Amino acid sequence: MCIEGGSAGRKIAILNQDVCFGNKLCCFSPFVGIGKYMYYYLQSPSFFELFNLNKTGIIGGVSIAKVKEILIPLPPIKEQQRIVAQIEKLFEQLR
């Protein structure tokens, strides 16, 4: 996730390979099985609002320390799977 500049809190990806990145990016390593839930939550208005509340500086960034303080709601795994399935169903309807 980009944590600094105009794309801060907006650019998020799931990667299946090791990558090298600079200081404007932050890597989340979620528990196995919750990656897609995290991906969708990190794009939610709720997360973006919390992220923006922690922005500082002229170019608008959030420190790794502040990112670590943002609480991410983790419902039971079955509920996470239901949420992901519903989101993906809605995306499929858009195609």
* Range(s) of the domain holding residue 83: 1-95
What's the average model confidence in pLDDT over 12-19? 83
Range in 12-16, 28-32, 71-75, 87-91 the model is least confident about? 28-32
pLDDT at 22: 77
Q: Is-contact 39 12, C-beta < 8 A?
A: yes
Beta bridge partners of 56: 61
Reported as a single tens digit per residue, the pLDDT across 36-88 is 999 999 999 999 999 999 999 888 899 989 999 999 999 999 999 999 999 99
CA distance 94 to 77: 26
Q: What pTM was estimated for this model as a whole?
A: 0.82
**What is the number of domains present in the chain?**
1
What are the angstrom distances between the C-alpha of 48 and each of 20, 33, 74? 25, 23, 17
Structure tokens at 71: 């609480």
pLDDT at 26: 85
